[in-house]
Structure 1
Amino acid sequence: MTLRRLLLLAQIPFWVLLVGAFVLLSAALDARVQATERATRTRTELAAMGQVMQQVVNLETGLRGYVITGEPVFLEPYNVARAVLPTTLAELDRGNSAGRPRLNRIRTLIDQWQAGVALPEIAARQRSEAAAAALVKSGQGKKLLDRIRAEVAAYTAEQTEYLNGQEAVALSQLRRLRLTLYGVGGFALLASLLATLGSAEVLSRSFGRFTVAARRLTDGEAGVRVTPRGPAEIQALSGAFNHMSEGLTLAQQQAQTHAETLAARNDWMRRLGEFGDWMQAARSLEEGARILENALPALLPGTRGVLLQHNASRNLLLPLATWGGESGAATSPDGCWALRRGEMVAPQGERLAPPCLGGPGGDYTCVPLFSHGETLGLMRLRPAEAGEKLPAALLALLPGIVRQVSLSLAGLRLQDRLLQQSIRDPLTGLFNRRRLEDELAAQTAHATATGSPLSLIAIDVDHFKRLNDTFGHDAGDAALVRLSAALRELAPAGSTPARPGGEEFSLLLPGYDLTAATAVAERLRAEVAAWTLSHAGITLGQMTVSLGVAGYAPPLSSPAALVRAADEALYAAKRQGRNRVVLSEETRPEAWLTLTTA
């Protein structure tokens, strides 16, 4: 037996009782409705009869007023009542077969009063008041009106008695309907309760087995099964439960595996976050490269590779960081399919293109580095063991790592670019006044602490204003760029060539005493004096510079004093005829040093 059939059989007594109750309730309700309709109709007839009586009174009142006064205006109630009465009597007569004889008598009496009393009195009053008074005194009208009132009273009494009877019947029907409802409801509840208890007993025995089995399953017991017996649906449910139990055991094993995978993924995400924090703390690409070499083996285990970035001309890829024992070398970006296509290219992927042209071979996975629409470089990696392939899980993580690396490198490149813009002169590329002052402070402190020599050369282009006025500012800028290139070439390693402003240049020489610095200044002066400059096909003539050299030693014990001494030496060179080198010792700095330090 199926569960559906069992439940249907349990509900049959309830349905039978429900049908019987419906029949009883329908009959009682019909009787109640009919009694109520009859009572309502009787009330309507009584109200209509009251209107008839009121119209009769209006007839009599209008007639008496006219007879007494002789004014036609007093006949208005009479005329209105006379027009309305036929309609009201016709409505009363419609569907009222029991009261029709008395209605006919009332209609006849009213017609008699009209013909025998009203019309004659009106006609008599039109002739004379005495004739009308004589008709009134005859008493015929009063007799007819008394008979009309008696008939109306009798009709009202009959209808009232009938109404009371109908209301009593309606009340009786209401009590019977209420009792029927109570009885049917009680029996229905009892039948439903019994059917529910019977069905629940059958189902509770079946589902009780599932409850026990489910509790054993939730307690961690493996291989829990339920014996299939009972209705067909319960047997099917038992089979589904057994199948679920087997699937749950398998799911628990898979969940354990996923948990271990998730733990490994979380650990990898933690390492990726730490990598991002370290890269944010870096202040240069060199520091970032060292962090990458330490982080990439942990983020990409079982791999080796190299991270390459574009050079300034973007015609070469230069190695920035390597890991896993990989060696890096400069290579051209033109032969890289990954850079051409802007997407990752893996050796195990199906593609129509051959291996990278001129590259290290086809066993590398190449991923381009992008940030804000700019190509920064390339990540090239392969398995640590030759002949193996990169795991699919690692390839899935690779885009996230590349994105983090790209953002970090873009930030470091931007930071380096902003730093260079803040310390470099935009025209010549030399350090600006700000960087020169920072280096002066650092190098003078170092010279004071260690006693090592330190020199400063102040350089100024001779007659630069005349050059600008004669040939234009473009020619002047070209001359300054040529001089800055020569200064950069002659500047020793560790020195600071700078352009504080205008046609003034400086060269800070840590580790150089006054003699060595003078030799550098003389080489620069001689080289510039040997030039014959031209710009835009126009010969600019000879260009010369004046140079002042100062050494950092007592009494020059501050950066400001060193700069002032070099400037004084430069001014002395200008006064002595330009195109020469003058040492600060020749300017006797003690004469102005007191003013500087006061």
Structure 2
Amino acid sequence: MTAVIGMLFTLQLIRRLRQFTAPLLKATERVQSGDLSVRLPVAGNDEFSAIATHFNAMTEALDETQRSQASLRRTLETRVNNLVAATTAELHHLSRLGTFIQACATQEEAATVISSIAPTLFPDGGSVALLAESRNLLEPYVHWGDAPAPAPWQPSTCWASRLGGPHSASVENHAPRCAHDHTTGATFCLPLSAQGETLGVLSIHTPDRRALDEKEELARRFADRLSIALANLRLQETLRHQSVRDPLTGLFNRRYIEETGARELARAQRQDQPVSALMLDIDHFKQFNDVHGHAVGDAVLRRLGSVLTHQFREEDIACRYGGEEFLVLLPGCAPSMAMERAESLREAVGHLLVAAPDTQGLTVTVSVGAASTAQGSGALAELISCADQALYAAKRAGRDCVKLYGES
């Protein structure tokens, strides 16, 4: 009887084992294939049920881990894609900045370009200040955003200028704030320099330090592009200035008057307005050089250039025509008015006193010839020739006087 009971128990155990191992084998195969949703049935309180419970708990934990990893992967992919898209957009705007500024002819045009592109990179605001020719003042150049427009300020009031490198200030980093900065958030100041020359300061504003950290590297790249572009533009303006200006007197040169004079005459003709010309020559200029030296002669030319700059209107064109000869074009000026202007110039020059060794000062006089398109001179070369003839008439009359073309 005992043997029969033992045999029946053994058969029951074998049947229960087979009932458990078959689903377990299939479940493990599904787990191996990546299906973590499989679960074993739990029936009873025996050891097999305990194993099934632990198996289900294991697959559930693995399934949860897999879902978490997938969610994390999607989040990282989204952030990377957003970062790539933002970086691509920033590089695009930086490239556009360089392209457009290189095509600008003046700093005023460049300021328009910067004020259009900078807000796309730094929407919270910023400004650019350029160092004045005096080198002791930074003047506002471009400003955008909600930050208050800066007033002119001295380099010593900016920590970036004093330290010679970037400076950030915010509530979080407890750094001193530049005296020129009147914002309450975070500010990043970077000196603008190129080819060893300081050009100015770029200031970027953000609400807090965290936002500033995200923009610092972009601000550095922006400053680098801006510095090179502004340096090239300043060099172009310098070369352009040198090509049309006389270096000694600061007046326009003969090349400029020949290029622009014809346009002035054409414009005056369309507007039915006269244009007058004054040709003047320094009396006995050779004596200044021969007796007192070329340094004194140069001083005379510079002083006369200064008088011409202040004596005429902004729309008038004064140039050093050659040697000691000067030419002034007077748009919209009739012959009688031209004579009055010439006489006023002659008197102003007569009050000059030029310092020279072994003298109490040298006086300067000029002879002036005037001509006008109202007298029939339609072309620039013809108008200049008539003024030149009037000049020689003034010299024949004894110098230090004014003569109008066609009058004895």
Work out whether the TM-score is over 0.5: yes
Highest CA radius of gyration, 1 or 2? Answer: 1
CA separation of 1:244 and 1:421: change in aligned 2, threshold 3 A = farther
Q: State the identity as a percent.
A: 34
Q: Return the structure number with greater strand share.
A: 2
Q: 2:255 aligns with which of 420, 434, 452?
A: 434
Distance 2:38 2:75 in 1: 19
The CA distance in 2 between the partners of 1:343 and 1:260, in whole Å, is 31
Higher relative contact order (CA 8 A, sep 6+): 2
CA drift of 1:208 comes to 8.0
Which structure has greater helix proportion?
Answer: 1
CA distance in 2, matches of 1:482, 1:251: 77
Letter in 1 for 2:167: V
Tell me the secondary structure at the aligned position of residue 328 of structure 2. Answer: strand
SS of the equivalent of 1:535 reads coil
Q: Distance in 1 between matches of 2:258 and 2:101?
A: 29
Letter in 1 for 2:150: G
How far did residue 257 of structure 1 move?
2.1
- Cross-structure match for 2:48: none
Q: 1:515 aligned to 2:331? A: no
SS of residue matched to 1:254:
helix
Deviations along 1:25-49, whole A, 9 cap, x unmatched? xxxxxxxxxxxxxxxxxxxxxxxxx
* SS of corresponding position for 1:527: helix
Q: State the TM-score, normalizing by the size of structure 1.
A: 0.56
Query: In structure 2, the residue corresponding to 1:509 is in which secondary structure?
Result: strand
Partner of 1:550: 371
Task: Report the TM-score when normalising by structure 2.
Answer: 0.80
8 Å contact kept, 1:454–1:551 = yes
1:300 aligns with 2:122: yes
Question: CA-to-partner distance for each residue in 1:73-112, whole Å, 9 max, x for gaps?
Answer: xxxxxxxxxxxxxxxxxxxxxxxxxxxxxxxxxxxxxxxx
Match of 2:205 in 1: 382
Could you say if the C-alpha distance between residues 554 and 460 of structure 1 is closer, same or farther in structure 2, counting changes exceeding 3 Å?
closer
CA contact (8 A) 2:122 2:204 kept: no
Find the residue that maps to 1:346 and give its secondary structure: strand
CA contact 2:169–2:175 (8 Å) conserved in 1: no
Structure 1: tracts of 5 or more residues without a match: 1-204, 217-222, 228-238, 588-598
Deviation (angstroms), 1:554? 5.7
Matched, 1:370 2:208: no
User: RMSD value over aligned CA atoms?
Assistant: 3.0
- Provide the C-alpha distance between the structure 2 equivalents of 1:577 and 1:403, rounded to a whole number of angstroms: 62
CA contact under 8 A between 1:497 and 1:507: conserved in structure 2?
Answer: yes
- Describe the shift of the 1:444–1:342 C-alpha distance in structure 2 as closer, same or farther (beyond 3 A): same
| Unmatched 5+ stretches in structure 2 | 1-25, 41-60
3-state secondary structure, aligned to 1:452:
coil
Alpha-carbon distance, 1:489 to partner: 0.7
Following the alignment from structure 1 to structure 2, what is the Cα–Cα distance between the partners of residues 486 and 295?
43
- 1:321 aligns to 2:321 (yes or no): no
Equivalence for 1:495: 316
Deviations 1:364-420 (A, max 9, x none): 43221111221100112323x6x7864422223111111111111111111111111
Alignment of 1:270 onto 2:92 = yes
Distance 2:195 2:399 in 1: 52
**Following TM superposition, by how much is the alpha carbon of 1:320 offset from its aligned partner in structure 2, in angstroms?**
0.9
SS at structure 2 position matched to 1:331: coil
Amino acid at match of 1:452: Q
- Quote the residue 1:468 is aligned against: 289
Deviation at 1:259, TM superposition (A): 0.6
Structure 1 residue 283, shift from structure 2 partner: 0.4
Letter in 2 for 1:504: E
Aligned-pair distance for 1:513?
1.8
Quote the residue 2:108 is aligned against: 286
Q: Closer, same or farther in 2 for the Cα pair 1:278/1:225, shift >3 Å?
A: farther
Q: 1:253 deviation in Å? A: 2.5
Trace 1:84-103 onto structure 2 (pairs within 5 A).
Answer: none
Paired with 1:293 and 1:402, the residues of 2 have a C-alpha distance of 14
Distance 2:305 2:37 in 1: 88
Q: Which residue of 2 aligns with 1:109?
A: none
Amino acid in the other structure paired with 2:310:
E
Asked whether the equivalents of residues 225 and 242 of structure 1 are also in contact (C-alpha less than 8 Å), the reply is no
Distance in 2, Cα, partners of 1:530 & 1:576: 21
Q: Does 1:574 align with 2:395?
A: yes
**1:225–1:491 Cα change, 3 Å:** farther
The DSSP-based 3-state class of the residue aligned with 1:457 is strand
Go from structure 1 to structure 2 and tell me whether the alpha carbon gap of 1:389 and 1:264 turns closer, same or farther (over 3 Å shift).
closer
Matches within 5 A, 1:96-495: 212-213=33-34, 246-301=68-123, 303-325=124-146, 326-348=148-170, 354-357=176-179, 360=182, 364-383=187-206, 390-495=211-316
Q: When the two structures are aligned, how many residues end up with a matched partner?
A: 363
Q: For each residue in 1:446-477, what CA deviation from the matched residue of structure 2 results, as whole angstroms up to 9, or x when unmatched?
A: 11222122111111100001111000000000
Q: 1:553 is paired with a residue of what secondary structure?
A: helix
